[in-house]
Chain A
C-alpha cells in the first residue's frame, strides 16, 4: 500500500493540505506564454520557481520549455527585483533574441511588492527593450487561486495588448483555455471546417508538439503573434472556453473594446462540443457543414455501441474546474456516475455547477472545490468506484484501491503522446470513449474466472 497512512475515517483539516489537486499560479502563466509566437516566458523571482515550472511542463509535454528567471538572491529580495529584471531583459534580448518577453511574478516578487508595469516602463526608458519588441507581464501570486488562475491572468494580460481601433477585421477570438496543444489544433480545425476566421490565444500547437527534425528552434513556428493580439480588439466576437481559464480575458475585451463575448464550457464531450459548434455557426452566420454533423454522428454511434458498459458505473475524478465541468457532463451523457469530484482550485460556483450536472444521478455526488486528493481517497475508501480519472498522481490511489485509472488533465508524467491526441470535439470524444471502455473491459477480462472469460464482449 503506497498511501498506507490514509485513514478511512474522515476528520476535518483546516491547515494541512495533503496531496494537493492544484499547483501554483506561475506555471499556468508560463504555459500560456509559450502559446505566443517568439515569446520567452520570464519568471520574476528566485530561480527555483522557474526550474520547477520548466521541469513539470517538460515532463508533461515532452518538449523543450525555455523560460528565463530573474534569479533573485537575498539582496534582490530585500531591495526589490527591479535591477534583476532590467538586467534580465537586456540579457534575454541580446542572447536569445525573442520577439516578446512575457513576465509573470512569483510569491516572492509579489510579497516584496515589485510593480511589473513600472519596471517595464523603466526598462523601456533605459533603452533595454529593442525597437519592435514587446515586454509585458501578469501578476501571478502563488498564494491566490491556483495554476488555473495564473493561466487566466496571463491570458488576460495577452488580451490587454489589444490596441484601440474602430475597424473590424471579421475574425473571431478563440480563447481555448488550458488544453493540450493538439486540442488547440483540433479546435482550429473545427473552426476552419465551419469557415470561421480565428485568432486563437494562447496557441501552443506547433510550440509544444513540434516535429523532431535535427534542428532546435527556441521559438518554434506556432503561437499567436503579437500583431494578432494587438488586433484582438477588432474581432467580431470572442468565444472563451472555460469560465476559470478564459472568461476574464474575454470579458475584458468586451468591456474595453466592445468585442462581444460568449463564455462556453470547454468542448469536451458531446453536449459541450454541440454548444461550441452551434455558437460558431451563429458567429459565422453559416450552416454547419455535413462533415461536422457526420463526425458528431460517429460519436453518437460509438456512445450507442458502448453505453451498455458505461451505465451506472461510478467515477471519481479530480482536476481543474473547466475541464471537470465538461467531463462530468460527458460522463453523465454516457450514463456514468461521477460520484466524487475534486478540484484544488477555489470557487463556490464550481460546486454548484457540478451539483446541477449530476442532479439526476441515483447517488449524490460529493464535490469539493479547494479539496485535495487525500480527501478524495478517503471518500473512495469509504465507498469504492469503478473508474478513477485525473493526472498522474492518481496512480497511487488507483493502485492501492485497485481501480482502473484514466490519465487525463495536468500533469501527466508517466504516459506519452497526450500532446498529439486531442480529447476536445467529437473526435476527442471518440478517443475518450475508447480509452474508458478499454480500461473497463481490461478489468473485466482480468477479473473473469476462466469459465466466463470470453472472446466476444
Chain B
C-alpha cells in the first residue's frame, strides 16, 4: 500500500464515466441511474438514485436471491424453529450455518441452528409433485424433535411445479395442534434481490407468530429490537448494554431469537429499528396493530450506541432510566475512547469503501468516523430508494412488476391488544422537542459531497473503483473479498465479518478499531512486489563489482 501513489485530485464525474465506459449502451444507460454522485447540500436534496431494480443478466452481481433473504437472513437466526427447505439439496446446504448468526440456547434450550433440514427433491418429485414428500418430511421432523414451530421454505422449482406449501403447512399445523407450521413462498426468482425474501419472511412471521403469547410481561422499559441478526455476536453485546441500562428487550427480529420472543413482541412499548431495509414495515405493522411506536437506532459505533440509548431513554422519559443510561455510557466510554485514540493515530486520514447489504454500508461509517477514516464510496446490495434518500421518498417510489408480486399485508388495529403507548399529546411534546418517530434520513445525507453512491455494485465496477480511488480498505462480502485483496487492498467482510465480531455496542467498537488497525496496518500489503520487480534495471553483476 505504502508504495502506491494516491490520486488526490479525482473528479467524481470522470470516475462515473470510467465505470460506465465499457458497458454496452443499454447497460450503461441503466447503470448510470444507479451510480450517483452525492452532491447533497443543506439547501438542496441529493439527486435521485435508481434502486431495487433487476440485475442485468451476465453482470457479476453481489446479490443473492429471495430464498437467501427469507431462509438465510430472517429465519436463519431463530433457534427453536425447525426450518425445512423444500427443494433440491443445494439451497438448504448453502444456507446452513454460513451467515455466522450466533445463538445461546443455554444447556437445555432448543437449538436447531446447527442442523440443515431439506426435502432433497429428486427428479420424480419435480415430475409428480413434491407435496407428499413435504408432508412426510414435516411429519418426520415433528416425530424426531417435537419443536414449537416448523417453517417451510420454497425454492425455485417448487414454485414452478406448483406445490402448495401453505396448504401442506396448514394441514400439518391442524394435525399436530401443538406445533405451529407455516410456509414461505420465497422462490429464488421472485423480486430482484434478497430484499424480497426479507419481506416474505417478515410478513409470514407477523401473520402466524407475532402476538400469539398473551402472557403479560412485567418488566420495565420494554422494547423490540428490529433488524439485528446477531452476526458474530452483535446481538449479545447489544443485549448486554440494554440489560445494564435496565431496558428489557422482548424480541430481537431475529438475532438469537426464539419462537416465544416473536410470540410476545406485542408486549413491547417501543420498537427500535436497526437495519431499516430488512424490516421497517414490521415496525409499521407493530404500530398499526398494537400501537407500538418505532424509532430508528444504530448500535454500530460507540457514539451511535450512546445516542441510540439516549433516544430510548428520552422516549420513556423516566429520570431513573435516563440517569442509568448516562451512568452506563460514562462507564463504558473511557475504555472505548482510550483505544480509539491509540488506533486513530494510525488510521486517521485513511479511506474506505463499503458495499454491503442494507444498512451496514451506512452504519459502519460511524465507526470509521470515530477512527478518523473517510468513506469515499458506498452503496447497498439490496437497498431501496428510501434507504438512500430517506423515508420521505417512500410515497414517490413507483412499485414495479417485480415488487408487486411480493405480498403486502394489510394490518388494522387489533380489537383486543391495540393500546397506544403514548397519547397524541405526549407524542407531540416529544416531537416538538425534536424527537423523531418513524424517521430515517437514509445513507446519502451522511456521505460527503462528491462521494459516489452506487446501487447493486458489481465485480467490474468494484475493481475499477479500487483501481482509480485506491482506498485503504474495502468492505463487502465473501464473494468480493479475494479479488479486491489481489489488488493489494485489504478487504473486510461486513456481512458476516470474516471471523471477527461483535462490532456492535461499546465492546464491539473496540473490536472493530483493533480489526481495522490490523487490516490497514498489516505488513503483508507491502510485500506485493519482489525486490527484483521493483528495481528491474539492476543486474546481478552490479553486486560483484
Contact = CB atoms under 8 A, between A and B. Distances in A.
Whether A and B are associated in the same complex: the answer reads: yes
Contact of A47 (B65, B97, B529): B65
B429 interface: no
Interface string B189-210: 1111010000000000000000
A91 B479 contact: no
A23 B94 contact: yes
B57 A49 contact: no
Interface in B249-291: none
A74 interface: yes
A76 interface: yes
Contact of A142 (B89, B141, B159, B486): B89
B94 A56 contact: yes
B483 interface: yes
Interface residues of A, number: 85
Given A84-B57, A107-B156, A22 B89 contact: yes
Contacts of B488: 212, 214
A143 B126 contact: yes
A95 B116 CA distance: 38
Interface in A48-80: 48-56, 58-59, 62-77
A413 B22 CA distance: 35
B190 A74 contact: yes
Residue picked from A13, A214, A413, most chain B C-beta under 10 Å: A214
B143 interface: yes
B223 interface: no
Contact of A54 (B89, B110, B143, B479): B479
Interface string B334-369: 000000000000000000000000000000000000
B56 interface: yes
Given A108-B160, A214-B529, A18 B116 contact: yes
A344 interface: yes
B412 interface: no
A374 B96 CA distance: 14
Interface string B49-89: 00000111111111111111000000000000000100111
A216 B486 contact: yes
A324 B97 CA distance: 24
Residue picked from B27, B93, B145, B159, most chain A C-beta under 10 Å: B93
B137 interface: yes
- The number of chain B residues touching the other chain, given as a range, is 35 or more
Interface string A1-28: 0111101000101111111101111110
A85 B487 CA distance: 30
A258 B233 CA distance: 59
B463 A216 contact: yes
A52 B89 contact: no
Contacts of B405: 74
A90 to B, nearest CB: 6
Contacts, number: 268
A65 B169 CA distance: 38
Interface in A176-227: 210, 212-218
B436 interface: no
Interface string A400-417: 000000000000010000
A88 interface: yes
A70 B57 CA distance: 5
A234 to B, nearest CB: 34
B242 interface: no
A15 B137 contact: yes
A7 B59 contact: no
A11 B65 CA distance: 35
B94 A55 contact: yes
A146 interface: yes
B402 A74 contact: yes
Contact of B59 (A51, A64, A95, A143): A95
Nearest to B133: A15
A396 interface: yes
A64 B486 contact: yes
B98 A24 contact: no
Given A5-B110, A49-B188, A63-B482, A11 B156 contact: no
Residue picked from B97, B401, B459, most chain A C-beta under 10 Å: B459
Interface string B520-542: 00001001110000000000000
A393 B116 CA distance: 11
Interface in B494-542: 524, 527-529
Nearest to B110: A5
Contacts of B89: 17, 20, 22-24, 142, 146, 344
B117 A3 contact: no
Interface string B312-345: 0000000000000000000000000000000000
B129 interface: no
A116 interface: no
Nearest to B124: A143
A91 B24 contact: yes
B74 to A, nearest CB: 15
Interface in B93-148: 93-98, 110-112, 114-123, 125-126, 133-134, 136-137, 139-141, 143-145
A381 to B, nearest CB: 14
Contacts of A66: 60, 459, 483
B92 interface: yes
A359 interface: no
A409 B383 CA distance: 37
B57 A69 contact: yes
A91 B56 contact: yes
B474 to A, nearest CB: 12
Nearest to B24: A94
B179 interface: no
A302 interface: no
B161 interface: yes
A51 B191 CA distance: 15
A15 to B, nearest CB: 4
B157 interface: yes
B88 A143 contact: yes
A137 interface: no
B57 A46 contact: no
Contact of A88 (B57, B477, B483): B57
Interface in B394-416: 401-402, 405
A382 interface: no
A154 to B, nearest CB: 15
A152 interface: no
Contacts of B112: 5
A46 B116 contact: no
Interface string B150-161: 000001110111
Residue picked from A96, A212, A393, most chain B C-beta under 10 Å: A212
Contact of B189 (A51, A74, A87): A74
A17 B188 CA distance: 21
A66 B463 CA distance: 12
B23 interface: yes
A423 interface: no
A111 interface: yes
B189 A214 contact: no
Given A106-B156, A143-B122, A143-B125, A214 B528 contact: yes
Given A15-B136, A16-B119, A51-B63, A77 B55 contact: no
Contact of B115 (A5, A45, A67): A5
A286 interface: no
21 contacts: A2-B111, A14-B140, A16-B137, A24-B91, A26-B90, A48-B66, A59-B478, A68-B57, A69-B55, A75-B401, A76-B189, A77-B156, A84-B57, A91-B56, A95-B59, A107-B156, A142-B87, A212-B488, A214-B488, A215-B487, A216-B486
Given A45-B189, A212-B527, 4 more contacts: A46-B189, A50-B61, A112-B160, A216-B463
| Nearest 5 CB-CB pairings of A with B | A48-B65, A24-B90, A88-B58, A214-B528, A91-B58
Interface of B: 22-24, 27, 54-68, 84, 87-98, 110-112, 114-123, 125-126, 133-134, 136-137, 139-141, 143-145, 155-157, 159-161, 187-192, 194, 401-402, 405, 459-460, 463, 477-479, 481-488, 524, 527-529
